[in-house]
Amino acid sequence: MNHVKIIGAGLAGSEAAWQCARRGVPVELYEMRPVRSTPAHQTGDFAELVCSNSLKSESENTAPWLLKEEMRRAGSLLIELARESAVPAGHALAVDRKIFSGRVTAAITGEPLITIRREEVTEIDEGQLTIIATGPLTSDSLSEQIARLTKAPPQSDAPTDDSLSENSVANGGGAAGNPHLYFYDSISPIVEADSIDMAKVYLAARYDKGTADYINCPMTKEEYDRFYDALLAAQPVEERDWEKLNYFESCLPIEEIARRGRDTLRFGPMKPVGLKDPRTGKPPYAVVQLRQENLRADSYNLVGFQNHLKFGDQASVLQLIPGLENARFLRYGQIHRNTYINSPTLLNENLQMRQHPQILFAGQICGVEGYVESIATGMLAGIHAAALIIGNQAIAPGRESALGSLIHYVTHANAKSFQPANITFDLLPPLETRIRDRQERHKKQCALALQALDCWLQSIVSRQSLRGAENAVDISPAARRA
**Could you give the CA distance from residue 438 to residue 242 in angstroms, rounded to a whole number?**
38
- Given a contact cutoff of 8 angstroms between Cβ atoms, the answer to whether 51 and 252 are in contact is no
* pLDDT in single tens digits along all 482 residues of the chain: 589 999 999 999 999 999 999 999 999 999 988 777 666 566 779 999 887 899 999 999 999 999 999 999 999 999 999 999 999 998 899 999 999 999 999 999 999 999 999 999 999 999 999 999 998 778 878 888 888 887 744 433 433 333 323 222 222 233 333 445 566 666 789 999 999 999 999 999 888 887 889 999 999 999 999 999 999 999 988 644 433 455 566 668 899 899 999 999 999 999 999 999 999 999 999 999 999 998 889 999 999 998 889 999 999 999 999 999 999 998 888 776 677 889 999 999 999 999 999 999 999 999 898 999 999 999 999 999 999 998 898 999 999 999 999 999 999 998 887 888 899 998 999 999 989 998 999 999 999 999 999 999 998 876 655 543 433 334 344 444 44
SS3 352: strand
Of residues 285, 236, 292, the one with CA closest to residue 262 = 285
First-to-last CA distance in the chain?
28
Alpha-carbon distances, residue 109 vs 17, 33, 103, 114 (angstroms)? 10, 14, 10, 7
**Could you give the CA distance from residue 187 to residue 335 in angstroms, rounded to a whole number?**
6
Phi, psi of 233, deg, nearest 5: -85, -15
**Could you give the CA distance from residue 412 to residue 195 in angstroms, rounded to a whole number?**
48
Number of neighbours of residue 429 by Cβ within 10 angstroms = 15
The CA-based diameter of the chain, rounded to the nearest angstrom, is 68
Q: What is the pLDDT of residues 313-345, one digit of tens each?
A: 999 999 999 999 999 998 888 776 677 889 999
DSSP letter assigned to residue 319: T
Phi, psi of 280, deg, nearest 5: -115, -20
CATH 2.40.30.260 in the chain: give the residue spans. 190-332
Of residues 249, 213, 217, 22, the one with CA closest to residue 114 = 22
- Given a contact cutoff of 8 angstroms between Cβ atoms, the answer to whether 190 and 157 are in contact is no
Decide if domain 190-332 falls under CATH 2.40.30.260: yes
Buried b (16+ CB within 10 A) or exposed e, 245-266: bbbbeebbbbbbbbeeeeebbb
CATH 3.50.50.60 in the chain: give the residue spans. 4-182+340-476
Number of neighbours of residue 282 by Cβ within 10 angstroms = 10
User: 4-182+340-476 sits in which CATH class?
Assistant: alpha beta
Q: Examine residue 88 and say whether the peptide bond preceding it is cis (omega within 30 degrees of 0).
A: no
Cα 430 from chain centroid? 25
**Could you give the CA distance from residue 202 to residue 213 in angstroms, rounded to a whole number?**
10
- Please give the full DSSP string across 265-282, using - where no structure is assigned: GGGTTT--TT--BTTTTB
